[in-house]
Amino acid sequence: DAGVTQSPTHLIKTRGQQVTLRCSPISGHKSVSWYQQVLGQGPQFIFQYYEKEERGRGNFPDRFSARQFPNYSSELNVNALLLGDSALYLCASSLQRLNTEAFFGQGTRLTVV
């Protein structure tokens, strides 16, 4: 079975632009979460979606938004990019919402110039 897949793997954007990152969870997993990891830090929670509904939101500005589709894949959108948005964006999927193992994708490296 394929693991969590994210696309693209690398991305370079200019300040002020918008970006969309994509994630396909492990087959059968209904929960998708997004995390941001800056260099030298642990991942920081952005969103959790379960059964296509937002179940949790981290301390990120409204420029960040996400959605989950009927096939449980997900997109993360970031508007009006800032230099500080440069980071590794990680997607995690799990079978259920709470007490099951989380599996991460390889991440999308976003560089804002």
Partner 1 sequence: KQEVTQIPAALSVPEGENLVLNCSFTDSAIYNLQWFRQDPGKGLTSLLLIQSSQREQTSGRLNASLDKSSGRSTLYIAASQPGDSATYLCAVRNSGAGSYQLTFGKGTKLSVIP
By CB under 8 A, name the binding residues for partner 1. Answer: 4, 6, 33, 35, 40-45, 48, 55-56, 58, 88, 90, 92, 97-99, 101-107, 109
Nearest distance from C-beta of residue 65 to partner 1, angstroms: 16
CB 75 within 8 A of CB 34: no
Residue placing its CB nearer to partner 1 in the complex, 8 or 16: 8
Residue placing its CB nearer to partner 1 in the complex, 18 or 105: 105
For the chain, helix (H) and strand (E) counts, in that order, are 0, 11
Rounded-to-integer distance, Cα 98 and Cα 29, Å = 12
Rounded-to-integer distance, Cα 97 and Cα 34, Å = 13
> 77 is written with which tokens?
């959108």
DSSP letter at 107?
-
> 89 is written with which tokens?
């964006």
Residue placing its CB nearer to partner 1 in the complex, 47 or 85: 47
Nearest distance from C-beta of residue 44 to partner 1, angstroms: 8
DSSP letter at 25?
P
Nearest distance from C-beta of residue 108 to partner 1, angstroms: 10
Residue placing its CB nearer to partner 1 in the complex, 78 or 91: 91
Nearest distance from C-beta of residue 62 to partner 1, angstroms: 18
